[in-house]
């Protein structure tokens, strides 16, 4: 099929949050790599329109032009996959697993005409990325299969690919996104520190207290300050009137 569709605008962060909520629906504390086939066989899916029935069909390759496709009915989502994709996903193939997670994304977020993970995809230039059904499903699939917290601890895309059983391409995209985010956070922290340093350097020095030469008549400390038309001792808090000539 290779056809894209315009969908409601969603940012990547909104899609990733939706993917994590969907994962929590199936298992609050998932063990990675995610068993995507078991999820598709669960017969239920939490869509944006509420929980619906989910049917997962596997057909011979020659019966399906696409790798997999999602169809929409009133209260039912039907995901159909080539047998080769189903079997490869069962053996941990990253591309096949991503294909099934991609279709799950369609079933959660979209409706209307069938949406497919195609053998050949034709880019539609007039559809903006945040409105593209295919891009949204791809972002969803990646977020569903990859845990960002754990992935950020891994050294390279190859480790992410092995850890989560995803394609190397998906792992590279995730790795670059996480490291770009870390670089932005580091730059923001450096800018904040620089701003604090500049503010401190430009802050006027606090004027030193100017004590009188006379000592306090109560505590005898030379810590008397002129406050208005009175004198205050900062040692004992004694307040007195201005000294007259001849006062001690």
pLDDT surpassing 70 at residue 28: no
**Model confidence, pTM:** 0.73
Q: Tens digits of per-residue pLDDT, 134-187?
A: 999 999 999 999 999 999 999 999 999 999 999 998 899 899 999 888 777 777
Do 34 and 23 contact (CB within 8 A), yes or no?
A: yes
3-state secondary structure the chain: CCCCCECCCCCHHHHHHHHHHHHHHHCCCCCCCCCHHHHHCCCEEEECCEEEEEEEEEECHHHCCCCEEEEEECCEEEEEEEHHHHHHHHCCCHHHHHHHHHHHHHHHHCCCCCEEECCCCCCCCCCCHHHEHHHHHHHHHHHHHCCHHHHCCCCCHHHHHHHHCCCHHHHHHHHHHHHHHHHHHHHHHHHHHHHHHHHHHHCCCCCCCCCCCCCCCCCCCCCEEEECCEEEECCCCCEECCCCCCCC
Enumerate the domain spans of the chain: 12-145, 208-242
Return the closest-CA partner of residue 215 out of 197, 231, 230.
231
Q: What pLDDT, on a 0 to 100 scale, did the predictor assign at position 246? A: 47
For residue range 40-57, what is the model confidence (pLDDT) as tens digits?
999 999 999 999 999 999
Average pLDDT (201-230) is: 77
For residue 120, pLDDT beyond 80: no
Q: What is the pLDDT of residue 191?
A: 74
Tell me the backbone φ, ψ of residue 120, rounded to 5 degrees.
Answer: -125, 125
For range 227-246, the mean pLDDT: 77
Out of 33-37, 173-177, 219-223, least confident range: 219-223
């Amino acid at each position: 099929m290779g056809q894209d569709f315009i969908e409601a605008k969603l940012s990547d962060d909104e899609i990733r949050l939706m993917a994590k909520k969907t994962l929590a629906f199936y298992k609050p504390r998932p063990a990675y790599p995610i068993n995507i086939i078991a999820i598709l066989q669960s017969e239920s899916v939490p869509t944006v329109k509420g929980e619906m029935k989910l049917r997962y069909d596997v057909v011979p390759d020659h019966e399906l032009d696409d790798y997999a496709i999602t169809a929409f009915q009133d209260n039912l989502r039907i995901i159909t996959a080539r047998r080769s994709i189903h079997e490869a996903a069962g053996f941990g193939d990253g591309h096949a697993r991503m294909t099934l997670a991609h279709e799950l994304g369609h079933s959660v977020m979209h409706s209307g005409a069938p949406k497919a993970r195609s053998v050949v995809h034709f880019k539609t230039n007039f559809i903006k990325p945040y409105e593209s059904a295919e891009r949204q499903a791809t972002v969803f699939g990646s977020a569903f299969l990859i845990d960002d917290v754990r992935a950020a601890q891994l050294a390279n895309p190859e480790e992410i690919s092995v850890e989560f059983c995803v394609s190397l391409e998906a792992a590279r995209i995730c790795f670059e996104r996480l490291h770009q985010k870390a670089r932005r956070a580091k730059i923001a922290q450096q800018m904040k520190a620089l701003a604090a340093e500049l503010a401190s350097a430009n802050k006027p020095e606090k004027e030193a207290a100017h004590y009188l030469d006379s000592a306090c008549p109560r505590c005898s400390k030379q810590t008397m300050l002129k406050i208005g038309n009175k004198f205050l001792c900062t040692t004992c808090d004694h307040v007195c009137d201005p000294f007259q000539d001849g006062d001690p």
